[in-house]
Amino acid sequence: MDAPRRTILIITGALLALGLVMVYSASFVVAEKRFGVPTYFLQRHAIYLLAGCLALAFTSVCDYHCIARHWRWFVFVAVLLLGAVLVPGLGAKSHGARRWFSLAGLTFQPSEAVKVLMILGISGWIAYTGEKIVTFKEGFVPGAACVAVIVVLTALEPDLGSAALLAVVLGALLFAGGVRLRFVLPALAVTAPLMALVAYNKLGYIRSRVENWLHGSSDPLGAGYQISQAMMAQGSGGVFGVGLGQGHSKLLFLPEAHNDFIFALIGEEFGVIGTISLLLLFALLVVQGWRVAARAPDLLGSLLALGVTLCIGFQAAINVAVVTHSMPTKGISLPLVSYGGSSLVFTLAAIGLLLNVAAHPACDTLPATLGATPRRKSTLLRALKPAT
């Protein structure tokens, strides 16, 4: 096994091990109170972890060219899942949002699957489109329309955090694939401010989150309770932390301590040293993913690696920013560390794609079904390529 793949696997294993330990540490009190079984969340997390490892094994072994040739199906399934979850009776509603399918006590969040499906779908479409990607009619219009449909359906759940993440990642893939900035910038200049304005004025919970972020410290027992508890937990950890299992925030003070706010508990129990070490692991994973994207044998591999790297990197950055009160609450978990089913499984599937690309040496041709010039890369991807 070469160095990039070995490094990615080691980092992934370290994050998964930390997540397994911290999920139990963060959840055993609430699990005992709710279900009478301290290991309730740990057991479920371990099952999802096993499923995720199987998904990683599958996506890392199957040739990514063969997977991506089915890009039409990936886009279709993504739209189908996001549309179906909005249908009453199909999608489960919780806390005012309809984001999950629920069956026999198990939940499935389609937006997590859509991240992987659309990275494959958009990357495959760009490779199939070839040099036509630079045109307005055959490049920008269908690409932008596809991304817009996915983002709008995700936002309707509503899940603006995942919608924003998808918009950034898929938009970056379009740009990296060759879509011209002269088409993209005017569209963004019109749609981004308009969507932000509509969301703030028409969606009460968005306005509430922004106002809580700006003024939540003035009401630490009300609107600002969760973030106040998260900041207190991190502050009480100091430099070296209070010790594994010794944190007090998980004693029913900090909501979602095992999920979206697990970073706060890591700060409490492992201190600044622990949180910095965690951030360094994510940074190293992003660097390795960036290198895989730059050294991929073809455009398709570059796009897949870039999409996976951006998705994991931005998601981790958003989660940490929320927990440290640097941005409004988004409801996005910490990849590979937070308790989760869909998120954990599909993040590992995405890492499998990254390992898949890293395992391929330079090649001269792509399967005819993808119809793209193998080594055609955008200006951005050429700039990322390291000197050899």
Q: What is the pLDDT of residue 185?
A: 84
Structurally, how many domains does the chain consist of? 1
Question: Which range of residues forms the domain containing residue 109?
Answer: 3-384
> Nearest CA to 18 among 285, 310, 331, 277?
277
Q: What is the pLDDT of residue 375?
A: 43
Q: What is the pLDDT of residue 365?
A: 41
Q: What gap in Å lies between CA 154 and CA 134, rounded to an integer?
A: 27
Q: What is the pLDDT of residue 238?
A: 92
3-state secondary structure of 248: coil
pTM of the predicted model, to two decimals?
A: 0.90
Q: What is the pLDDT of residue 161?
A: 87
Amino acid at 309: T
Amino acid at 137: K
Q: What is the pLDDT of residue 271?
A: 95
Give 106's strand partners.
Answer: 103
Q: What gap in Å lies between CA 239 and CA 160, rounded to an integer?
A: 34
Q: What is the pLDDT of residue 373?
A: 40
Q: What gap in Å lies between CA 110 and CA 130, rounded to an integer?
A: 30
Q: What is the pLDDT of residue 100?
A: 84
Q: What gap in Å lies between CA 304 and CA 285, rounded to an integer?
A: 15
Cα radius of gyration (the chain)? 21
3-state secondary structure of 353: helix
CB 176 within 8 A of CB 378: yes
CB 198 within 8 A of CB 219: no
pLDDT tens sequence for the chain (388 residues) = 688 899 999 999 999 999 999 999 999 999 999 999 999 999 999 999 999 999 999 999 999 999 999 999 999 999 999 999 999 888 887 766 788 888 766 788 999 999 999 999 999 999 999 889 999 999 999 999 999 999 999 988 888 889 999 999 999 999 999 999 888 888 888 887 877 777 666 566 667 677 777 765 655 666 678 888 888 999 999 999 999 989 888 887 888 889 999 999 999 999 999 999 999 999 999 999 999 999 999 999 999 999 999 999 999 999 999 999 888 877 789 999 999 789 999 999 999 999 999 998 754 444 444 444 444 445 455 545 543 3
Q: What is the pLDDT of residue 67?
A: 93
